[in-house]
Amino acid sequence: MNLTKWMALTSVALFALGLAACDGVNKYEVEVVELENTNSSSSGSDEPGDKPDVPDGSLLLDDFEDGDHGNQVGDWWFVYTDGTTEIASDNPGSEGEPFPSATDNGSNYALTIKYGEVSSYAGWGTNVTPVADKIAGYNAVQYKYKGADHCLRVEISDVADYDHYKYCQGKSAEWKTVTVKFKDLAQGGWGSPVEFNPAHVEKISYQQEAGTPAGSVSIDDFYFIKVAE
Ligand SMILES: [Ca+2]
Ligand SMILES: [Ca+2]
């Protein structure tokens, strides 16, 4: 069955399940989409209305087009905070679940996260463990964003002290498509150094550090991709 249709048909049930699973432990099953890219353009343009420009076989983590707070690989998006910093999506669920909202990038939905001045840390992310055995087949991620400076984190199970591998981006007032190669990720350096093993990726997350001024970031069209090193 067409994934979008399937998700639409089950979105009410998933929403109810999501409310019951606000701890993010419960899982649901979805078909995993490995994209057959029919867009022959390689311009890299990210003008509104463009289709995602990713290599054949890329793995879609989420394009948010189903409007729910589940990703496309069978798990949930979440927000997290130090307990002081306020953070929520532009369209939070009744339990604070980060639902996507209408966007201006040519698609229907993106995930927009808003936060207050960051006390210690605050962020958002999603679990990718349902496709953990596939991620080592890729060597980069690609996503679109608009908004504030932010750091993408590719969290692996070997990191026990939260000093996760990350790559930071500057602010952008317009939608921007970025590719982050796994080899360019780096730990912050304040924790124990561990080797990056793509077979051990558990979560994709974003974190704003202490002192970050209040702001917002929108993300969309997040893929695991294979690119030339
Ligand atoms: Ca979704
Ligand atoms: Ca979208």
**pLDDT tens, residue by residue, 60-95:** 999 999 999 999 999 999 999 999 999 999 999 999
Whole-structure pTM value: 0.80
Distance 195 CA to ligand 2 centre (A): 33
Which ligand gives the minimal distance to the CA of 74? 1
Q: CA of 39: how far to CAs of 12, 35, 55, 113, 181, in Å?
A: 32, 11, 9, 29, 22
Instruction: Read off the pLDDT band of 30 (50, 70, 90).
Output: low
Query: So what's the pLDDT on residue 53?
Result: 87
**Higher pLDDT pick, 25 / 211:** 211
Q: Is 153 helix (H, G, I), strand (E, B) or coil?
A: strand
Tally of domains within the chain = 1
Average pLDDT, the chain: 86
β 98-99/77-81 pair status: unpaired
- Ligand 2 centroid, distance to 158 Cα (angstroms): 31
Distance 228 CA to ligand 1 centre (A): 29
**CA–centroid distance, residue 189 to ligand 2 (Å):** 34
The domain that contains 115 carries what CATH number? 2.60.120.430
Tokens representing 195? Answer: 């080797």
Is residue 43 over pLDDT 60? Answer: no
State which residues form the domain around 214: 3-225
HSE, side-chain direction, 13 A CA sphere, residue 21: 17
